[in-house]
Amino acid sequence: MTFFNKDDIINAFHYRASTRSYDGNKKIPAEDFNYILELGRLSPSSVGSEPWQFLVLQNPDLRQKIKPYCWGIPTMETSSHIVVILAKKNARYDTPYFGEIMDRRGLQGEAREKAMQVYKKFQTEDAHIADNERTLFDWASKQTYIALANMMTGAAMIGVDSCPIEGFAYQEVNQILAEAGLFDPAEWGVSVMVTFGYRDKEIRQKARKDFDEVVKFIE
């Protein structure tokens, strides 16, 4: 197995910055963007739930429709690609969706039943994920942020810029995209969005807390 140079990885993290001004004339090659999406698909998730879908929103009319509800962000027009990340609304341990998770993991018979009991306890007692629809959706949304981070970091490593977007009116954006037939609102909801492209100007170096402020070793 080939491992990666630590300096190159750290440099990519320093390079990555929220990009709010893209060169609208530069498009990400399909091969590169499929690589970015693959990083999201391969991301880890709690109990292997993969409670996400990635909508690559290239339709200019839909971009214009949601723009007023995204704080009027100009990158809705100039970014090369926009990905709307959906989260599963009902990934309870006792749903067919969770049964599909067991199928993907090849769990059958006694092993499947044992795993389901563990996940039931996790959702109902340990983390109280199954308390209501909102707690289930919040749990699924947490998983989508793992995929989001991996896509943005992986993009930076090949010189592609990005910006995560949480600043939008969730109800209106969900309604527009659902009415366009992009997803079933009873099953999925918008968790977060992210733009990708190439910056058209230098970005001020980002500020971060010192290492010792955020890391504590307990021995």
Nearest Cα residue to 124 out of 102, 98, 101, 106? 98
pLDDT value for 81:
97
pLDDT value for 72:
73
What is the spatial distance between Cα 27 and Cα 173, in angstroms, rounded to a whole number? 25
Secondary structure of residue 116 in the 3-state scheme:
helix
Residue 11 lies in a domain: no
Residue 32 lies in a domain: no
pLDDT value for 4:
85
pLDDT value for 66:
95
Task: Determine the residue type at 153.
Answer: T
pLDDT value for 3:
84
Query: pLDDT tens-digit profile of 24-76?
Result: 999 999 999 999 999 999 999 999 999 999 999 999 999 999 999 998 788 88
Residue 219 lies in a domain: no
pLDDT value for 11:
93
Mean pLDDT of 85-102: 94
pLDDT value for 2:
77
What tokens does 153 get?
A: 């970091």
Query: pLDDT tens-digit profile of 182-206?
Result: 999 999 999 999 999 999 999 988 8
pLDDT value for 178:
98
Nearest Cα residue to 200 out of 85, 77, 83? 77
Residue 52 lies in a domain: yes
Give the pLDDT band of residue 84 (cuts 50, 70, 90). very high
State the residue range of the domain holding 66.
46-90+134-201
> Which residue's structure tokens are 């006792």?
94
Residue 12 lies in a domain: no
Query: What CATH number did the domain enclosing 70 receive?
Result: 3.40.109.10
> What single DSSP character describes residue 195?
E
Nearest Cα residue to 136 out of 124, 150, 146, 121? 124
Query: pLDDT tens-digit profile of 101-159?
Result: 999 989 999 999 999 999 999 999 999 999 999 999 999 999 999 999 999 999 999 99
Q: How many domains does the chain have?
A: 1
What is the spatial distance between Cα 187 and Cα 120, in angstroms, rounded to a whole number? 20
First to last CA, the chain: 33
Query: pLDDT tens-digit profile of 2-12?
Result: 788 999 999 99
Residue 55 lies in a domain: yes
pTM of the model: 0.95
Task: Determine the residue type at 217.
Answer: F
Residue 181 lies in a domain: yes
In the chain the beta strands, taken as DSSP E runs, fall at: 52-56, 81-88, 161-165, 188-197
Number of H helices and E strands in the chain, helices first, is 9, 4
pLDDT value for 1:
76
The gap from C-alpha 167 to its chain's centroid, in whole angstroms, comes to 15
What tokens does 113 get?
A: 């039943």
pLDDT value for 181:
98
Residue 73 lies in a domain: yes
